[in-house]
Amino acid sequence: MTERIERVVTSGTFSLDGGTWDVDNNVWILGNDSSVIIIDPAHDVDKIAAKVAGRTVEKILLTHAHDDHIGSAKEASDRFGAPVYLNPADRELWTMVYPSWGFDEELEDGMTLALGDTELTVLATPGHSPGSVCFYAPTLSWDNSEGVVFSGDTLFNGGPGATGRSFSSFETIIESIRHKLLTLPESTAVLTGHGDSTGIGLEAPNLEAWIARGH
């Protein structure tokens, strides 16, 4: 069965280091007629459930543990009866939101997760946070791309994710993007945690400019 991708945009807040900001998050639903995987079920589980439309949620994958991405993970896990996957390198951020509830499964670099005929490969891409990951699916397509990578807050349309707050490193995110993302085929769509999608071929020429500007 061929898997397809759906996008839900949800609204809420992101808080860290004593500040709070309004944010819109992209929630990605990868699935077929019977089953789905949800990536970062942020803010509004009712809106996400409407798009899931009664299909079985096999897994909830988290790109990282900032509170805008994980704040509704427990509600989603309970509602859909699905296990939550996170890279344990983000445990310190996780426990700031869930001091007494643990996620179910640990993501690690290079592991693969399957849904139907689709395989997702976990790419550890630290920098925006220590445990940030991306999910690469060479057989999926978005807007006629060949392959997609769900990039969380590691790579956006226009450059790297933010590294100005706690637990972040600009040098580390640049190395992650250089070695883990810009090495993917140019035809790969980049499906981001916030804002517009982009492509590896569109972003790759800008690496040196990002380094020069320092963010």
Binds Fe ion (CB under 5 A): choice among 5, 10, 25, 66: 66
Task: Dump the DSSP string for 113-143.
Answer: EEETTEEEEEEE--SSSTT-EEEEETT--ST
Smallest distance from the beta carbon of 69 to Fe ion, in angstroms?
6
- What is the three-state SS of 160-209? ECCCCCCCCCHHHHHHHHHHHHCCCCCCCEEEECCCCCEEHHHHHHHHHH
Q: Please tell me whether residue 153 binds Fe ion under the rule CB under 5 A.
A: yes
Quickly count: other Cβ atoms within 10 Å of residue 80's Cβ: 21
Give the range of 31-39, 70-78, 146-154, 182-190 binding Fe ion by CB under 5 A: 146-154
User: Residue 18 in 3-state DSSP?
Assistant: coil
Residue 147 or 193 with smaller CB distance to Fe ion: 193
Residue 145 or 163 with smaller CB distance to Fe ion: 163
Q: Please tell me whether residue 43 binds Fe ion under the rule CB under 5 A.
A: no
Residue 52 or 70 with smaller CB distance to Fe ion: 70
Residue 128 or 180 with smaller CB distance to Fe ion: 128
Give the range of 64-72, 90-98, 102-110, 169-177 binding Fe ion by CB under 5 A: 64-72
CA of 168: how far to CAs of 40, 127, 143, in Å? 19, 5, 31
How many whole angstroms separate alpha carbon 58 and alpha carbon 61?
Answer: 10
Give the range of 37-45, 63-71, 111-119, 167-175 binding Fe ion by CB under 5 A: 63-71
Smallest distance from the beta carbon of 168 to Fe ion, in angstroms?
9
User: Interface residues with Fe ion (CB under 5 A)?
Assistant: 66, 153
